[in-house]
Structure 1
Amino acid sequence: MQDKLNGLEKRYGVDWREFKIGDLFEVGTGSLLDLKNLPAGNIPRVSVKTDENGIIGYFDTENIEGARHFENFISVNFFGKSFYHKKKSSLEMKVHTLKIPNHDFTKSEGMYFSALLDKQLQGFSYGNQLSSSKLKNENYKIILPTTNNEIAFDYINDFVETLEAERLATLEAERLATLEAYLKVTGLNNVVLSAEERSSLDKLRSGGSVSWKVFNLEQLFGRATRGRRLKSADRVVGNLPFVTAGEADMGISAFIGNDVQVFSENTVTIDMFGSAKYRNYKYGADDHVAVVHTEKLDKFSALFTTSTIHKSAHAGQFDYSRNFYATDADELMISLPVRTDGKIDYDFMSNLMSAMQKIVIKGVVEWADKRIELTRGAINK
């Protein structure tokens, strides 16, 4: 990376010079407005905040008397914190604007200058505020690249774009490396169907070759367990997923540290609406959740069973007026594939779900492989 930056300096014939801030920039300032009486709108209001680009809100200040608007500028608040703003904005009184006369910032230039200013203008506080007069008159300086005694704007743009491209490439490489490692560790990078998996798909596609039988859920897995109520106000922040009714985030409403019953991974939850979900992690559950104990099944058979439970329980018969409870789980009847001897065909269930997982993940693996190779090539260049 450093070789690329050194190459840029040589290409543009860069020299470095000091510039006094008050000589380089036109300095402006904002105005005092009562936020409580400002109508909502889409014009950013830049304040003395030191995060979120200093924006305190969005208002319709276009026709407000005394409002001062600026566009494509750098803001500096009285702490010396600097931000670049491309869009038209209004400013609070203790926020200053910096613009170079007869020059419009590109985004890259705005980012570059705001970073330099942010570094240079440090150490201000409520007791020692940065004023517009200090910006104009005191000897604050920044060092800039020049070519033929003029600010090297082309170099600045190329410099920032090179850094940004490198940052994005590195970020993508890190994410892809994480994905690659995850796929390998979990075995999800293996997307080649086995003979058994192909056979299970062929059976399903052929329709009549799969025999089905109805089973009672309690007879298969024992009585379902009902969770215990835990009010939101009583929940302690922790690491245990707490399952409630709902589809968002798989029904996980919080991560708690309370002393509650912990249910095993490889089990199935059914919420008050009859929605079934497979859990491959330990969790707690509230009283609107029934837990079906499928622990003894292998993962893929449990996933298959979850889908049949969901189909049976989530058919519109349960709602706010008629909740699903653990006793309903005990009475639930589900259809499962059986062998010629009438026993549940767990091998078929497991192979089918494994095949479906490979089919779904195949596109992700192929995409990841291509992106990893492209990213590696770009970084090597």
Structure 2
Amino acid sequence: FDISDIFETKKMGNTFQVPTGASVNAKYLKDGNIPRITASNINNGVFGYFTSNHKNYRIYENFISISFLGTIFYQEGKASLDMKVHCLKPKYHELNTYTATFLISILKKEIGTILYNDQISSTSILNLSLTLPAIKCDDKTYKPDFEYMQNFMQEIEKSIDEDLTNLHIGLNLV
């Protein structure tokens, strides 16, 4: 196969929805069980666990968060986003750990092309192009091959597990 037969570059705006979080004053946040995601690079961006009836308390489910600072994490399950944290959720695929990890590795590379003094915004995210494995739908359209992404990451995980097992055996740690 030619590389172009397997990989396709898509504008993110054609592939993903990009909602953004909003500011909610701390007085409106009540202790709860929904993680609040901030721009922090610590603890998957989780600031705490809350609930709120405030109109700006937006809840998303099973997505990749990208902050204006460039922190990128997979958020499994429900989470609420703080201001300047964006939600990337594929339109036609339910993310899992494997497909999200694959996409995050590509996103981190592309986010690196945004100038340091520029904040990552919904506009700059929409201007990114991602080179992804693709399935040809017809003569003119392709769609991301999420099955390939999942299988690829599962193979990486299996290889790492085998390497660690061999290392433990070699070091007599088993």
Q: Please give the TM-score of this superposition, normalised by the length of structure 2.
A: 0.85
Please state how far the C-alpha of 1:88 moved relative to its aligned partner.
0.2
Assess if the C-alpha contact under 8 Å between 1:79 and 1:124 holds in 2: no
Contact 2:93 2:146 in 1 (8 A): no
Is 2:51 the counterpart of 1:60?
yes
In 2, the alpha carbon distance for the partners of 1:172 and 1:53 equals 27
Equivalent in 52, 57, 79 of residue 89 of structure 1: 79
Tell me what 2:37 maps to. Answer: 46
Greater relative contact order (CA < 8 Å, ≥ 6 in sequence): 2
Alignment partners' CA distance in 2, 1:51 and 1:173: 31
Distance 1:124 1:79, change over 3 A: farther
CA contact (8 A) 1:80 1:124 kept: no
Flag structure 2 segments of 5+ consecutive residues without an equivalent. Answer: 137-141
Distance in structure 2 (CA, Å) of the matches to 1:109 and 1:77: 20
Pairing 1:142–2:157 present: no
Q: CA deviation at 1:171?
A: 1.7
- Give, in whole Å, the separation in 2 of the partners of 1:124 and 1:69: 30
Distance in 1 of aligned mates of 2:92 and 2:153: 22
Q: CA RMSD in A?
A: 2.0
Deviations 1:34-68 (A, max 9, x none): 2355222211111001232111111123x333200
How far did 1:124 drift? 5.0
Task: Check 1:124–1:74 CA distance in 2 against 1; reply closer, same or farther (3 A cut).
Answer: farther
Mapped contact 1:124–1:130 kept (Cα < 8 A): no
1:25 aligns with 2:10: no
Q: Which has the higher strand share?
A: 2
The 1:176/1:60 distance shift into structure 2, 3 A limit, reads farther
Percent of residue pairs bearing the same amino acid type = 31
Letter in 1 for 2:159: E
Distance in 2, matches of 1:144 and 1:151, equals: 6
Q: How far apart are residue 94 of structure 1 and its match? A: 0.3
The question of 1:72 aligning with 2:72 is answered no
Query: Which residue number corresponds to residue 294 of structure 1?
Result: none
Between structures 1 and 2, the one with greater helix share: 1
* 1:104 paired residue among 87, 94, 97: 94
Q: Give the secondary-structure state (helix, strand or coil) at the position aligned to 1:110.
A: helix
- Which amino acid in the other structure matches residue 130 of structure 2? I
Q: Which runs of 5+ in 1 are unaligned?
A: 1-8, 181-367, 369-381
Larger CA Rg, structure 1 vs 2: 1
| TM-score between both structures, scaled by the size of structure 1 | 0.41
In the alignment, which residue of structure 1 is the partner of 2:139? none
Q: d(CA) in 1 for partners of 2:144 and 2:28?
A: 43
Which residue matches 1:160? Answer: 153
Query: What is the deviation of 1:78?
Result: 0.5
**Contact 1:73–1:105 (CA under 8 A) maintained in structure 2:** yes
TM-superposed CA distance for 1:99, in Å, is: 1.4
**Residues 124 and 73 from structure 1, CA distance in 2 versus in 1: closer, same or farther, beyond 3 angstroms?**
farther
